[in-house]
Amino acid sequence: MPEEDSQRQSILDAHEEFIQHIEKGSSKIRTLSVTTLVVGVLLVVSYLYQLVLPYTTGTTTVTVNLLDPTLQATEIVVLVIALAWLYVALRDYLFTTKLARAISDIRRQEREIEKRITG
> In terms of residues, how long is the chain?
119
| pLDDT tier for residue 83 given thresholds of 50, 70 and 90 | confident
> Which residues is 61 bridged to in the sheet?
65
Q: Indicate whether 40 pLDDT > 90.
A: no
> Which residues is 65 bridged to in the sheet?
61
Positive or negative torsion for Cα 63, 81, 87, 27: negative
**Average per-residue pLDDT for the chain:** 82
Task: Compute CA distances 71 → 16, 64, 65, whole Å.
Answer: 53, 9, 8
Q: What is the rounded average pLDDT of the residues 52-73?
A: 87
| pLDDT tier for residue 45 given thresholds of 50, 70 and 90 | very high
Task: Compute CA distances 52 → 41, 58, 62, 77, 111, whole Å.
Answer: 16, 10, 14, 15, 56
- Cβ contact 37:93 at 8 Å: yes
